[in-house]
Structure 1
Amino acid sequence: MPRSSLPPILLSLALTGGLAACAQQPAQPPAPRASLADELVMATVWMQSSGEYAALSHQAFNLARMNLDRALAAPDSQTQRPPAIIVDVDETVLDNSPYEAWLIASDENYASDSWHQWVEKASAAPMPGAKPFLDYAASRGVEIFYVTNRRDNETEATLRNLRQVGFPDADGEHFLPRTDSSDKTARRLRVAQSHWIVLLMGDNLGDFSQGFDRESAAARRAAVNAQADAFGSRYIMLPNPAYGAWEEAIYGGDWGVSDEEKSRARRNHLEAWGGPTH
Structure 2
Amino acid sequence: MHKSLRVAGIATACAVAGAALYGTGAATADNASARHTAEPQNIGVLVGEIDDYYGAYQDADGVWRSSPDSPYAKDLARIQAKAKKDIRKAAAHGAKGGGHGAKGSAHGKKPAIVLDVDDTSLLSFDYEKTTNYTYNSATWDAYVKAAKRPAVFGMPELVTYAKSKGVEVFFLTGLSESQREGAVTNLARAGYDTQLDTEHVFTKNKTAPPAYLSNCATPAKWECTTVQFKEGTRRHIESTGYDIVGSFGDQVSDLAGGYADKTYKLPNPTYFVE
TM-score range, shorter chain: 0.5 to 0.7
- Counterpart of 1:59 (choices 66, 78, 87) is 78
AA matched with 2:266: L
| SS of residue matched to 2:264 | strand
Q: Distance in 2 between matches of 1:44 and 1:122?
A: 24
- Which residue number corresponds to residue 71 of structure 1? 90
Q: Distance in 2 between matches of 1:35 and 1:199?
A: 35
1:185 is the counterpart of 2:231: yes
- Which residue number corresponds to residue 36 of structure 1? 15
Offset, 1:35: 2.8
Q: Distance in 2 between matches of 1:146 and 1:187?
A: 10
Structure 1 unaligned spans of 5+: 1-32, 212-229, 249-278
- The CA deviation string for residues 101-159 of structure 1, in whole angstroms up to 9 with x for no partner, is 1112xxx7201111101001101111111111101111222111100101111001100
- Counterpart of 2:265 (choices 228, 234, 237) is 237
- Counterpart of 2:124 (choices 59, 76, 96) is 96
Q: Distance in 1 between matches of 2:108 and 2:70?
A: 39
Larger Rg: 1
- Which residue number corresponds to residue 248 of structure 2? 201
- Which residue number corresponds to residue 174 of structure 1? 200
Q: Distance in 1 between matches of 2:13 and 2:162?
A: 45
Q: 1:189 to 1:137 in 2, by over 3 A?
A: same
- Which residue number corresponds to residue 224 of structure 1? none
Structure 2 unaligned spans of 5+: 1-11, 17-42, 55-65, 98-104, 207-223
- The CA deviation string for residues 190-221 of structure 1, in whole angstroms up to 9 with x for no partner, is 1111211111011111111248xxxxxxxxxx
Q: Distance in 2 between matches of 1:131 and 1:84?
A: 15
**CA RMSD of the aligned region, Å?**
2.3
- The CA deviation string for residues 43-91 of structure 1, in whole angstroms up to 9 with x for no partner, is 6422224621000111121111100011112242355211110111111
**Of Structure 1 and Structure 2, which has the larger fraction of its residues in helix?**
1
Percent identity over paired residues: 29
Offset, 1:41: 2.7
- Which residue number corresponds to residue 85 of structure 1? 113
| SS of residue matched to 2:171 | strand
TM-score, length-scaled by structure 1? 0.63
AA matched with 1:138: K
Q: Distance in 2 between matches of 1:191 and 1:36?
A: 36
- Which residue number corresponds to residue 188 of structure 2? 163
Map 1:128-277; keep pairs closer than 5 Å: 128-167=153-192, 168-180=194-206, 181=224, 182=226, 183-194=229-240, 195-210=242-257, 234-245=262-273
- Which residue number corresponds to residue 264 of structure 1? none
1:113 is the counterpart of 2:133: no
Offset, 1:36: 2.2
Kindly tell me the number of residue pairs found equivalent between the two proteins.
191
TM-score, length-scaled by structure 2? 0.64
